[in-house]
Amino acid sequence: MYINRGIYKMEKRKKYNFKWELIYWLLFIIAMTFKSIYFSYLYGFNGYSLIPIILSSIGMAAFSILISNRKRYYMALIINLLFTIILISDLVYSRYYGNPLTFSLLYQLSLVGDTFESVTYLINYKDSFLAVDFLVLLIYFIVMGKKYGTRAKRIYGKLKIISAAFLIACLFISYRFFISYDKHMVENFSINRSIRHAGIYNFHLSDMTSYIKNRFYKESLTPEETETLLSRFEKTPGENEYTAAASGMNLLIIQLEAIQGFVINSKINGREITPNLNRLIDKSLYFNNLYYQVSGGNTSDAEFLTNTSLYPAEKGAAYFIYPDNKFYSLSKLMKSAGYKSYVFHANDPSFWNRSAMYKSLGFDRFISENDLELSEILGWGLSDPELYQQAVKFLDGNEPFHAFIISLSSHYPYFEFNEYDFDVGKYEGTILGNYLRAAHYADSAVGSLYRQLNESGMLENTVLAIYGDHFGISMQNADLITEFKGVKDIIPERIKLQKVPFIIHSPSHNNLKGIIQTTGGQIDIMPTLANIMGIDCSPYALGTDILSSESGYALLRDGTTITDSFIYYGKNNSVYNVKTNEELNIKDFRDTIAKIQKELSISDLILNKDALRKLDIP
Give tens-digit pLDDT for 180-210: 544 444 444 566 677 877 788 888 888 888 7
Greater confidence, 415 or 334?
Answer: 334
Residue range 452-464: average pLDDT? Answer: 95
- In the predicted model, is pLDDT for residue 333 greater than 90? yes
Give the pLDDT score at 159: 60
Residue range 571-600: average pLDDT? Answer: 94
From 167, 191, 216, give the residue that closes a domain.
216
Please tell me whether residues 181 and 322 are part of one structural domain: no
Give the pLDDT score at 345: 95
Residue range 360-372: average pLDDT? Answer: 95
Please tell me whether residues 205 and 233 are part of one structural domain: no
Give the pLDDT score at 267: 96
Give the pLDDT score at 495: 96
Report the C-alpha gap between 514 and 240 in whole angstroms: 15
Q: Is 392 part of any domain?
A: yes
Give tens-digit pLDDT for 542-558: 999 999 988 999 999 98
Please tell me whether residues 162 and 203 are part of one structural domain: yes
Give the pLDDT score at 176: 61
- In the predicted model, is pLDDT for residue 429 greater than 70? yes
Report the C-alpha gap between 309 and 9 in whole angstroms: 67
Give tens-digit pLDDT for 129-187: 999 999 999 999 998 888 877 677 777 666 667 667 766 777 667 656 555 544 444 44
Band (240; pLDDT cuts 50, 70, 90): confident
Please tell me whether residues 261 and 192 are part of one structural domain: no
- In the predicted model, is pLDDT for residue 85 greater than 80? yes
Please tell me whether residues 184 and 252 are part of one structural domain: no
Question: Which secondary structure element, helix H or strand E, spans residue 538, and what is its range?
Answer: none
Encode 82-93 in three state secondary structure: HHHHHHHHHHHH
Please tell me whether residues 496 and 523 are part of one structural domain: yes
Q: Is 222 part of any domain?
A: no
Report the C-alpha gap between 356 and 144 in whole angstroms: 52
Band (444; pLDDT cuts 50, 70, 90): very high
Q: Which amino acid is at 358?
A: Y
Q: Is 11 part of any domain?
A: yes
Greater confidence, 30 or 56?
Answer: 30
Report the C-alpha gap between 519 and 516 in whole angstroms: 9
Residue range 250-254: average pLDDT? Answer: 98
Q: Is 339 part of any domain?
A: yes
Q: Is 223 part of any domain?
A: no
Report helix, strand or coil for 473: coil
Lowest mean pLDDT among 110-124, 131-145, 323-337, 503-517: 110-124
Q: Is 258 part of any domain?
A: yes
Residue range 240-253: average pLDDT? Answer: 93
Give tens-digit pLDDT for 260-298: 999 999 999 999 999 999 999 999 999 999 999 999 888
- In the predicted model, is pLDDT for residue 120 greater than 70? no
* 251 touches 403 (CB < 8 A): yes
Question: What CATH number does the domain containing 599 carry?
Answer: 3.40.720.10
Give the pLDDT score at 377: 82
Query: What percent of the chain stands above pLDDT 70?
Result: 86
From 172, 194, 216, give the residue that closes a domain.
216
Domain count of the chain?
Answer: 2
- In the predicted model, is pLDDT for residue 115 greater than 80? no
- In the predicted model, is pLDDT for residue 119 greater than 60? no
Report the C-alpha gap between 162 and 145 in whole angstroms: 26
- In the predicted model, is pLDDT for residue 84 greater than 70? yes
* 561 touches 567 (CB < 8 A): yes
Give the pLDDT score at 208: 83
Cα distances (angstroms) measured from residue 42 to each of 128, 134, 206: 11, 18, 22
Question: Comparing C-alpha atoms, which of 412, 367, 411 is closest to residue 390?
Answer: 367
Give the pLDDT score at 509: 82
- In the predicted model, is pLDDT for residue 116 greater than 50? no
Give the pLDDT score at 49: 76
From 216, 251, 271, give the residue that closes a domain.
216
Give tens-digit pLDDT for 499-518: 999 999 999 887 889 999 99
Please tell me whether residues 200 and 245 are part of one structural domain: no
Please tell me whether residues 207 and 310 are part of one structural domain: no
Band (593; pLDDT cuts 50, 70, 90): very high
Give the pLDDT score at 182: 43
Q: Is 111 part of any domain?
A: yes
Q: Which of 303-317, 340-354, 437-451, 536-550 has the highest mean pLDDT?
A: 437-451
Helices 157-178/191-198 angle, 10° precision: 130
Greater confidence, 417 or 545?
Answer: 545
User: What is the chain's mean pLDDT, rounded?
Assistant: 86
Please tell me whether residues 199 and 322 are part of one structural domain: no
Please tell me whether residues 444 and 562 are part of one structural domain: yes
Please tell me whether residues 294 and 379 are part of one structural domain: yes
Band (7; pLDDT cuts 50, 70, 90): very low
First to last CA, the chain: 66
Please tell me whether residues 515 and 399 are part of one structural domain: yes
In the 8-state DSSP scheme, what is residue 430? Answer: S
> Can you give the residue range of the structural domain that contains 366?
229-614
Give the pLDDT score at 6: 45
